[in-house]
Amino acid sequence: MILVSKKSSYIPKRALLPALTFLTAVIFVGLTPHEALCTRRPVVKPAQSLSSGAVPLKLITRAKRRLRKKSTLSLYRSSAGSPAVLVASFKSPRRKVRFTDKTASSGTYTYWSVLTVKSKKLTSRAVTVTVIPGGSQPEIPAGPGLDVTLKAGQSECPAGSREQVLNDINSIRSSYGLRQLTFETRVNLAARAHAIWMADTGQMVHDGWFDRLIQTGWWGSHASQNIARYISAENVVAAWMTSEGHRNNILDSRDIHIGIGCVISSSGVIYWAVSQTAP
């Protein structure tokens, strides 16, 4: 039985910046020199999951408090063949604004925000979200270079294996009074890619796990990973709980999402990669 845990920790924002898709350069918009240094493009991010008939978004103004008091943050939406519409407007917004667009039906939508400060406008980069019919999850493609296709000779784990592990983890968390974790599309993609890579190389290491997570478009304040091999779905969580590092990851009170990758190598060895994340 082999287990490896990756110590969980807060991820410094500076570590995330190179992988995120928004500009980090200062944008000068005719403000005073001091104000220009603290005013940059706003950011719009899709939330980690979609609830039926709604698109949750996170808007970040990236402006100092005294400037936000004089500003207006506007959220726009467009879709193929349709003109842009104003979805919401916030006067004197907080630095981070969470908003759920409940007017979007199934389809693909583009969102962006405009921060108006002293008659000057800063426009965020656009983000695209696909709402599947009646769906509960956005359709998120694998990121560039993220391989989620089984290699020659590899096979999927038995049906229900991932759900078994999720249920076991949530049962333990519940006994400690912690919130239940739910599957998240991006985190699942990254976990699957890592399990495929381990099964292909025969290595059981954390190398590249966070890069794979970032490639999916995930963002957040915290992430951790547990990995294992040679252990069945019925026993892997119990095995992790005997190790302090793995147990701490499973019982992290910050986490709300989980991704589980399970792949059987060409030699018949089962590989597990489980990531837990917090927004």
CATH fold for the domain made of 155-278? Pathogenesis-related Protein p14a (3.40.33)
Among 71, 101, 97, residue whose Cα is nearest residue 86: 101
Per-residue pLDDT of 95-139, as tens digits, reads: 888 887 776 666 777 888 888 887 788 888 887 776 654 434 444
Which helix (H) or strand (E) segment is 266 a member of?
A: none
Predicted pLDDT of residue 21: 30
Q: What's the pLDDT score for residue 215?
A: 85
Q: Beta-carbon neighbour count of residue 218 at 10 Å?
A: 26
Residue 230 tokens, joined: 């040679």
Q: Which residues contact 111 (CB under 8 A, 6 or more apart)?
A: 44, 46, 55, 57, 75, 76, 77, 87, 101, 126, 127, 128, 129
At 215, list the tokens: 């490639």
Residue ranges per structural domain of the chain: 23-30+54-131, 155-278
Q: What is the pLDDT of residues 229-264, one digit of tens each?
A: 999 999 999 999 999 999 999 999 999 999 999 999
pLDDT of residue 97: 85
Read off the pLDDT of each residue in 85-92 and give the average, rounded to a whole number: 90
**For residue 135, what are its two tokens?**
């769906």
Helices (H), the chain: 13-16, 33-37, 65-68, 161-175, 185-201, 209-215, 236-241, 244-250
Torsion over CA: 18, 20, 23, 25 (sign):
negative
pTM above 0.85, yes or no: no
Same CATH topology for 23-30+54-131 and 155-278: the answer is no
At 86, phi and psi to the nearest 5?
A: -80, 120
- Do you know the residue count of the chain? 279
pLDDT in tens, 189-222: 999 999 999 999 999 999 889 888 888 888 788 8
CA pair distance 278, 256, nearest whole angstrom: 6
Q: What is the pLDDT of residues 155-189, one digit of tens each?
A: 999 999 999 999 999 999 999 999 999 999 889 99
Is the domain spanning 23-30+54-131 CATH 2.60.40.10? The answer is yes
- 21-80 pLDDT, tens digit each: 332 222 223 333 223 323 456 666 655 444 445 677 778 887 888 888 888 989 998 887
The torsion defined by the Cα of 26, 111, 142 and 278, in degrees rounded to 10, comes to 70
Whether 74 and 113 have beta carbons less than 8 Å apart is answered as: yes
